[in-house]
Amino acid sequence: DVDTRPNKFDTTTLTDNDDAFFIVEQYHILSQYFMAASPRHPIMFYTIHHTLQALLTAPEIGMIQAPKITGPHALHAGFQYFMRDQGVRIPDAVPGEKPAKAGTWKGTDGHTLTVRGIGENENEYVQREAIRRKQKEREYSEMGMEHFSKQASEKTNKSCYRVLWEVQQDSQKAILQQQQQQQRRRRRT
């Protein structure tokens, strides 16, 4: 995230041998606000596909809880798939569990994750939310944006598939209109 800053993190924290790098956040899962991964790393593949599946199968697109569908829980699911390929079961992210621990984790096809820190001291390596919430909200407002926690959830009675269908239909209509305009211009000349 753009509102993080290094603490104990320095030029020796990440090495050329790190295939992927995460810190442990306060809920004892991998940090989604600060991460690094080599191109085509399996944890990212699994995380993206899990996110897409969760979005596509959500029955109500207007009531999606971002942290559970696209944020830390999606990354945690990617971690679970990554380690499952080595026969290691990673517990679900629920209160009382501490599924992410510091160390080097070997998963899919020999790829690794380097994990640093402990949840009780999530800011040890990287300061999360280095910009205070009020200042961040003010800056978002100046850019015409709002923090995801301020966005009102409104029931739409539409699934993600339905919204994608509507976008595709609108796109097709726009293309057809553009083609018709081009044909009219050609006839005039």
Q: What is the DSSP letter of 39?
A: T
Statement: residue 152 has pLDDT above 70: no
Task: Tell me which residue has tokens 């699994």.
Answer: 46
Query: H helices within 58-129, ranges in order?
Result: 66-69, 72-84
1-10, 36-45, 120-129: range with lowest mean pLDDT: 1-10
CA dist 118 and 100 (Å) reads: 8
E strand map for 15-74? 20-24, 30-37
For the beta carbon of residue 56, count every other beta carbon within 10 angstroms: 12
pTM score: 0.79
For the beta carbon of residue 4, count every other beta carbon within 10 angstroms: 19
How high is the pLDDT of residue 80?
97
Average pLDDT, the chain: 89
